[in-house]
């Protein structure tokens, strides 16, 4: 018999292979519990039939409930067929309370269309049973107005007790709402410790709202995966107001839609974020005309106590690294600044082969290689030829 710790370690390697986990759960008692914890960790419900099956499972096997940590509701099929999906209101009627639930996500739900249904007020009221989760993800959903979005988020947010805020993360991806009667929603009591905007969710309006909430004093993790040119000034001002609270920042900037040349230095001043420990820059366009923001921001953080520096790049040929902008980046990273940085990670997501990418980056940054600080990770999508 193998020690239980070793059995758990073996099962952990299969965490993303559901078929392998099912086989492990039937192989022996030693593997059963570890396999169940992975199988039921994240549940996605995409139809009323799936919801009924899940409710039946919880009713007949309540021991499954403690394993559920992530719960996602996805109405993509109904969304694309323009079918009604009012069944979403049944999601608050689970037969067993999921006490270890940490994350809830809603995808492709048209809350604006559902607003007129009589059952929806009770649905929003009962959502409070999920209060206390650690993370809320909203993807490709629409709301009547920004007040409706704010009320929806606040339903899940933990209450602030005795001046202490519980960890609560919010992620918005392609979230839209109708024309608001006012820019700021009426609810100004939201407390976030982590905030993410992925794409097309009007970052300028959302951060204007957050600036008037207590989140400004406790927000430690911030991610803007794609900031458009018109949003730069508002986002930069928001980061400036975070001051010494911010510890992790992920930032991607697109300047190709801006009709005029924008000086990022006038919008951002990351030197004020003196507690920043990790900086993650997403270089969405390797055209040298749209990259001056990268060395500009690196100069602002050169003397901060950073520990980790990460770059996302979409590399398709080694020649993309041969430009004066990359000369500036190499000179900044090789200078006397960044003394506290322990690792510089490049995440490759382009079509160039990983071996060629690593060779090109090592040639581009010899000082980082010599200091054993350079790491390259391959996250590119392999192109598959169809027969």
Q: What is the pLDDT of residues 11-60, one digit of tens each?
A: 777 777 777 777 877 777 777 778 888 888 899 988 888 888 998 888 89
- What is the predicted pLDDT for the residue at 8? 73
Q: Are residues 230 and 328 in the same domain?
A: yes
Q: Are residues 26 and 77 in the same domain?
A: no
On whether residue 209 sits in a domain, the answer given is no
Q: Are residues 5 and 115 in the same domain?
A: no
Average of pLDDT values for 115-131? 79
Q: Are residues 134 and 73 in the same domain?
A: yes
- What is the predicted pLDDT for the residue at 304? 92
CB proximity list for 99: less than 8 A, separation 6 or greater: 65, 66
Burial category of 1 from C-beta neighbours within 10 Å (exposed 0-12, middle 13-18, buried 19 and up): exposed
d(CA 237, CA 39): 43
Structural domain count of the chain: 3
Q: Are residues 150 and 226 in the same domain?
A: no
For residue 250, give the H/E element and its range: strand 248-254
- What is the predicted pLDDT for the residue at 154? 87
Q: Are residues 228 and 338 in the same domain?
A: yes
pLDDT at residue 225 greater than cutoff 90: yes
Q: Are residues 23 and 45 in the same domain?
A: no
pLDDT of 324-335, one tens digit each?
Answer: 999 999 999 988
Q: Are residues 138 and 237 in the same domain?
A: no
pLDDT at residue 182 greater than cutoff 60: no
d(CA 311, CA 31): 39
Say if residues 276 and 306 touch (Cβ distance below 8 Å): yes
pLDDT at residue 386 greater than cutoff 60: no
d(CA 243, CA 237): 10
Average of pLDDT values for 77-82? 74
On whether residue 24 sits in a domain, the answer given is yes
Q: What is the pTM of this model?
A: 0.87
| Boundaries of domain holding 7 | 1-39
pLDDT at residue 165 greater than cutoff 80: no
Q: Are residues 265 and 340 in the same domain?
A: yes
């Amino acid at each position: 018999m193998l020690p239980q710790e070793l059995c758990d370690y073996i099962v952990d390697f299969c965490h993303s292979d559901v078929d392998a986990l099912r086989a492990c759960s039937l192989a022996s008692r030693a593997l059963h519990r570890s396999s169940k914890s992975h199988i039921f960790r994240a549940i996605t419900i995409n139809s009323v039939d799936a919801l009924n099956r899940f409710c039946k499972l919880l009713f007949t096997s309540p021991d499954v409930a403690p394993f559920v940590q992530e719960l996602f509701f996805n109405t993509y099929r109904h969304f694309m067929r323009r079918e009604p999906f009012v069944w979403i209101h049944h999601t608050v009627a689970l037969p067993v309370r999921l006490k270890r639930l940490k994350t809830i996500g809603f995808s492709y739900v048209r809350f604006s269309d559902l607003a007129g249904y009589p059952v929806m007020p009770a649905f929003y009221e009962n959502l409070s049973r999920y209060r206390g989760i650690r993370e809320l993800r909203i993807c490709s959903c629409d709301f009547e107005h920004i007040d409706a979005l704010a009320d929806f988020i606040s339903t899940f947010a933990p209450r602030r007790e005795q001046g202490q805020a519980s960890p609560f993360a919010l992620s918005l991806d392609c979230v839209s709402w109708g024309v608001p009667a006012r820019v700021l929603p009426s609810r100004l009591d939201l407390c976030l410790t982590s905030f993410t905007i992925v794409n097309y969710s009007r970052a300028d309006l959302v951060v204007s709202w957050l600036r008037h909430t207590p989140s400004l004093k406790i927000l430690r993790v911030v991610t803007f995966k794609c900031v458009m040119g018109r949003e730069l000034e508002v986002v930069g001002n928001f980061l400036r107001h975070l001051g010494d609270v911010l510890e992790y920042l992920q930032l991607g900037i697109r300047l190709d839609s801006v009709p005029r040349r924008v000086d990022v230095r006038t919008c951002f001043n990351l030197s004020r974020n003196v507690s920043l420990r990790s900086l993650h820059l997403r270089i969405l366009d390797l055209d040298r005309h749209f990259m001056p923001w990268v060395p500009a921001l690196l100069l602002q953080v050169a003397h901060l106590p950073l520990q980790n520096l990460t770059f996302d790049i979409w590399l398709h040929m080694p020649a993309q690294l041969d430009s004066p902008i990359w000369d500036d980046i190499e000179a900044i990273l090789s200078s006397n600044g960044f003394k506290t940085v322990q690792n510089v990670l490049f995440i490759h997501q382009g079509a160039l082969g990983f071996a060629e990418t690593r060779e090109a980056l090592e040639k581009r940054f010899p000082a980082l290689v010599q200091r054993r600080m350079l790491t390259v990770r391959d996250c590119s999508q392999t192109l598959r030829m169809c027969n």
